[in-house]
């Protein structure tokens, strides 16, 4: 009986010790992180505009955003981070058809590739803890690459069949952004993350061509350029791998 009591007592003390260690480690401050998130990409401003009178309307719809980020705090709660993000937004083909003057009997259809915007940015961030929760705020700058989608409109004016095609193009530009994250600490090395980010860049797309075809032949425009301001807000969720503390940087 005495041995049994000692065994139970030892097991209890071991369990308590393990729980205390787990609790301490799950609250131990971590200076660095790797994170991956995915969510919705929401166009704003002229990027999402479908106005036929706006010559910089990009007609982008809601899409998908995926991002990977990493950061490390060097001074107190302040650190540096880098973030790569990919946005894919469908072009709203109904807006393309709104620019075509046609009668009720004319039938027109439109097709378009997706907008693709990739950013790589870095900058300072600050981490503010609230127990298991913490908030990150960041200001970022870097480079962005955008792909202007090709479009195709096909229809008729009475007995005349027509089609209009525009070529796509790629462009690089300086990008600016910022955002907030809400983190929840799951344990020693992992957290859940909710992100809200804003990104903006002004692109110039060169060597664009428009081609029009009809029963009477074909015409092609000369090369021209177009400016487009890309503005997107992304709302995403993901997981975070935490590393490093005051005793072990990695």
Does residue 130 belong to any structural domain of this protein? yes
Residue 25, pLDDT score: 42
Q: Is residue 44 part of a domain?
A: yes
CATH code: domain of residue 51: 2.40.160.20
pLDDT at position 14 is 47
Position 40 in a domain: yes
Among 199, 188, 168, residue whose Cα is nearest residue 83: 199
Does residue 59 lie within any of the structural domains? yes
Asked if the structure places residue 23 within a domain, the reply is no
Contact of 68 with 86, CB cutoff 8 Å: no
The whole-number pLDDT of residue 63 equals 97
- pLDDT on residue 157: 78
Strands 160-166 and 151-157 turn out to be: antiparallel
The reply to whether 248 falls in a domain is no
For the chain, how many helices (H) and strands (E)?
A: 2, 13
**Count: domains in the chain:** 1
**What pLDDT sits at residue 246?**
57
In a 3-state reduction of DSSP, which class is residue 232?
Answer: strand
Q: Do residues 80 and 126 make contact, with C-beta atoms less than 8 angstroms apart?
A: no
End-to-end CA distance of the chain: 48
pLDDT of residue 8: 46
Whether pTM > 0.85 for this model: the answer is no
- The answer to whether residue 8 sits within a structural domain is no
Residues of the chain with pLDDT under 70: 1-27, 101-103, 246-250
Parent domain of 52: 31-243
Determine the Cα–Cα distance for residues 220 and 7; give it in Å rounded to an integer.
Answer: 89
Alpha-carbon distance 120 to 175, whole Å?
8
Cα–Cα distance, 59 to 164 (Å, whole number): 17
Half-sphere exposure of 126 (CA within 13 A, CB side): 3
Within a domain: 5:
no
Residue 70, pLDDT score: 97
pLDDT at position 247, please?
Answer: 55
């Amino acid at each position: 009986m005495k041995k049994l009591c000692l065994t139970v007592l030892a097991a209890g003390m071991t369990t308590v010790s393990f729980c205390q260690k787990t609790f301490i480690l799950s609250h131990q401050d971590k200076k660095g992180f790797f994170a991956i998130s995915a969510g919705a990409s929401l166009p704003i401003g002229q990027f999402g505009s479908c106005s036929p009178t706006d010559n910089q309307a990009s007609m982008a719809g809601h899409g998908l955003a995926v991002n990977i980020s990493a950061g490390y705090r060097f001074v107190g709660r302040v650190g540096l981070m880098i973030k790569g993000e990919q946005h894919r937004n469908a072009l709203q083909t109904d807006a393309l058809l709104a620019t075509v003057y046609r009668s009720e009997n004319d039938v027109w259809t439109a097709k378009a590739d997706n907008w693709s915007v990739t950013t790589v940015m870095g900058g300072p961030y600050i981490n503010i803890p609230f127990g298991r929760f913490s908030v990150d705020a960041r200001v970022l700058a870097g480079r962005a690459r955008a792909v202007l989608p090709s479009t195709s409109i096909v229809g008729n004016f009475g007995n005349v069949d027509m089609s209009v095609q525009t070529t796509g193009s790629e462009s690089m530009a300086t990008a600016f952004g910022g955002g907030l994250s809400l983190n929840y600490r799951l344990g020693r090395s992992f957290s859940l993350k909710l992100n809200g980010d804003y990104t903006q860049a002004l692109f110039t797309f060169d060597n664009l061509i428009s081609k029009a075809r009809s029963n009477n032949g074909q015409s092609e425009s000369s090369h021209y350029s177009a400016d487009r301001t890309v503005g997107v807000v992304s709302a995403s969720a993901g997981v975070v791998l935490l590393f490093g503390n005051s005793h072990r940087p990695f």
